[in-house]
Amino acid sequence: MGELIRGIIFILFAVYVMYGQQLFNASFDISETAKIILTIVLGGYGLFRVYRGLKGIFSHEESN
């Protein structure tokens, strides 16, 4: 369950990096290319953690 929550947090942080300036009036002092790369890395890692969390939950239920 911890991996699932951690994955969701990383995905939310990726959304914040990508859309923070427009939605939350946040100011980032990095280039647009760096923002895109950071978003891809954070989002990909978040999706990986969500996948691992869901895999752990469903495989745990089947083994009982």
Q: Which domain holds residue 14?
A: 2-63
The count of structural domains within the chain is 1
Alpha carbons 26 and 30: distance in angstroms, whole number: 12
Each residue's pLDDT expressed in tens, for the chain with a length of 64 residues = 889 999 999 999 999 998 888 887 877 788 999 999 999 999 999 999 999 999 988 886 554 4
pLDDT at site 29:
85
Asked whether the beta carbons of 52 and 60 are under 8 A apart, the reply is no
pTM: 0.82
Return d(Cα 15, Cα 23) in angstroms, integer: 10
17: Cα within 13 Å, side-chain hemisphere: 20
